[in-house]
């Protein structure tokens, strides 16, 4: 994708800086075009998110554009290679969105043979890693007691199971969506979502009590956040998949 698009705030987006670079325009002119589009139609505001970036110690204005925002902006771009660049962008948006959907699928659900094989290898490595962990570090009874201390919180493992995936797969998906990141062995929420009531942390230690870990657990509000994010990319829970299958059978 050559860095044309990135994941930011749950969306596949590109930046005004990247657009200027790709189409050979001055960034200030791209900013001016976006400003005019938003001024002409208030509905366009949701397609552009303003931010800033640092270059040589100075901060500069930047806009992030979702697929609709890019399409609206690129309509006015002309020239010999403009169409070529537009097609590359469309392909980049499609590819990134497909990657997110593919990440949530088990290998047997992927049509592409190469990607199916790659996913199977990843799954097999994960199964072997989990088997090794279980053999090496058996969970302590007090760890499960701590897990159940707050019935209002739910582990990623339980939420992932409702989607028919492993906790590791869901964590990686939420990482790609910009919700959490890994620090050591712990998954941490990005600042944007921290302190918003989506999750909390519970401490647990290894058998030798030498290493303390922070377990990320989700509140009902956090579970709703995950559900809404995955739904946006067409990822349904197992119950929804079963319900949809039954409806199709009835028809």
For 59-107, write each residue's pLDDT tens digit. 999 999 999 999 999 998 988 788 888 988 988 888 888 777 666 555 5
**What topology does CATH give the domain 6-101?**
Arc Repressor Mutant, subunit A (1.10.10)
- Assess whether pLDDT exceeds 60 at residue 251: no
Cα separation, 202 vs 171, in Å, equals: 17
CA dist 72 and 20 (Å) reads: 15
pLDDT at 17: 94
d(CA 23, CA 36): 19
- Quickly count: other Cβ atoms within 10 Å of residue 241's Cβ: 13
From CA 132, how far away is CA 138, in angstroms rounded?
Answer: 10
CA 220/CA 225 separation, integer angstroms:
9
Residue listed under structure tokens 């070529």: 84
Instruction: Tell me if the pTM is above 0.85.
Output: no
Side by side, the strands of the sheet bearing 6-8 are 6-8, 11-15, 58-65, 48-55
Backbone angles phi, psi at 138, to 5 degrees: -70, 130
């Amino acid at each position: 994708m050559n860095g044309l698009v990135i994941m930011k705030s749950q969306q596949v987006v590109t930046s005004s800086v990247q657009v200027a670079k790709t189409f050979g325009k001055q960034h200030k002119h791209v900013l001016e075009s976006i400003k005019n589009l938003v001024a002409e139609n208030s509905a366009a505001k949701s397609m552009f998110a303003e931010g800033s970036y640092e270059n040589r110690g100075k901060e500069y204005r930047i806009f992030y554009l979702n697929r609709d925002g890019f399409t609206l902006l690129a309509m006015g771009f002309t020239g010999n290679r403009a169409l070529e660049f537009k097609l590359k962008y469309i392909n980049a948006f499609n590819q990134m969105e497909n990657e997110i959907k593919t990440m949530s699928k088990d290998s047997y659900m992927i049509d592409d043979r190469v990607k199916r094989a790659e996913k199977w290898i990843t799954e097999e490595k994960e199964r072997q890693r989990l088997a090794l962990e279980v053999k090496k570090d058996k969970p302590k009874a007090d760890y499960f007691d701590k897990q159940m201390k707050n019935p209002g919180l739910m582990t990623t493992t339980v939420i992932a199971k409702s989607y028919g995936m492993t906790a590791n797969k869901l964590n990686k998906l939420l990482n790609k969506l910009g919700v959490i990141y890994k620090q050591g062995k712990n998954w941490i929420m990005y600042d944007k979502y921290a302190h918003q009531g989506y999750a909390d942390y519970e401490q647990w230690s290894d058998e030798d009590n030498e290493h303390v870990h922070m377990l990320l657990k989700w509140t009902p509000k956090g579970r709703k956040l995950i559900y809404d994010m995955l739904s946006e990319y067409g990822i349904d829970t197992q119950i929804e998949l079963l319900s949809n299958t039954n409806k199709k059978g009835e028809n």
